[in-house]
Amino acid sequence: MKNLNNMMESENILEDYVVPYKDQEIDSKIEEIQQSQLSDEIDLDTLKTIFSCIDLTTLKETDSADSVKAFVEKVNGFKEKFPNIPNVGGVCVYPVFSPVLKQYLKAEGVKRAVVSGGFPASQTFLDLKVLETKKAVDFGANEVDVVISVGEFLEGNYEFVYEEIRQLKEASKDAHLKVILETGSLIEPELIWNASIIAMDAGADFIKTSTGKSGKAASLTAAYVMCQAIKAYHEKQKRKVGFKPAGGIAETRDALKYYAVVKDILGEEWLNNNLFRIGASRLANNLLTEILSLEGDSFDKVEYY
């Protein structure tokens, strides 16, 4: 990983990465992926894999220590109720509830994730973003989701964005840092590519499409560009960075489309919850309903979460 001075005083990091696609081809490439990877018959094992990659999230103004504890207890009790289905990949809450996750989340393999850094707008002082992240990790979070300073990025202040991510990665210590690009506000594929490369080079362990709070949802275009950037970064740096589409992904068929993009571009080795996550909580119930239906256990709508 390059430090800020190396990045900005020598060649620009973006010049090291040649875009491997033409913008006008993206839609047709996505369509080719869907046709080659998806079939009319839904595969049960694929649905279970996607379920295991869900970040189960509660980010409401009405959240409290008691409500988060109750939320966590559902995750803890999941395997007893659904023994043939893998548990979710993580539980994501506001940073103030890090101690609740640390104390009560007992489900094996489920990560303790928090949002941080002035989520969701990222409009606060960097020292406060760093402090919030440090406190969240000190209180037990092992994954931290932060948002880039979108306005600064759109103004071309890439050094500013890079340095923020670098400091937040440093503050997160051994916890995984998931950097949200808020791709719905970036619009152009070139900007999504640039944000992806900058975030990864600054230390992101995951890059994520959206907060789900801005009204601008994830898109397959953003997923395609981000996965291509992850592939290019891995080929050059030999470091695997995870990918998380989030925001507006609630239906099983939509989740399968994102799964197909990851599988086609990054391959099977990315299709696990160490390198692939997907949001959000509405998707969990829909997937559960589909899985149980395919297994012949239920034909009713499941409302577990």
Domains and CATH numbers, the chain: 24-294 (3.20.20.70)
Helix (H, G, I), strand (E, B) or coil at 152: helix
Query: Is 117's pLDDT higher than 50?
Result: yes
Whether residue 230 contacts residue 217, with contact meaning beta carbons closer than 8 Å, is answered with no
CA 245 to chain centre: 5
Q: What is the pLDDT of residue 7?
A: 46
Rounded-to-integer distance, Cα 62 and Cα 102, Å: 20
**Three-state helix/strand/coil letters over 248-272:** CCCCHHHHHHHHHHHHHHHCHHHCC
| CA dihedral sign of residues 253, 258, 262, 264 | positive
pTM value is 0.94
Query: Is 34's pLDDT higher than 80?
Result: yes
Where residue 187 falls among pLDDT bands split at 50, 70, 90? confident
Query: Is 45's pLDDT higher than 80?
Result: yes
Tell me the average pLDDT across 99-127.
98
**H or E stretch at 180:** strand 176-180
Q: What is the pLDDT of residue 9?
A: 36
Rounded-to-integer distance, Cα 142 and Cα 109, Å: 12
Tell me the average pLDDT across 35-58.
94
Contacts of 195 (CB under 8 A, 6+ apart): 148, 153, 161, 181, 183, 186
Share of the chain above pLDDT 70, in %: 96
Long-range residue pairs from 3-9, CB within 8 A, at least 24 positions apart, any chain: 3/166, 4/159, 4/162, 4/163, 4/166, 7/159, 7/162, 7/201, 8/159, 8/162
Q: What is the pLDDT of residue 1?
A: 45
Positions marked catalytic: 145, 208, 244
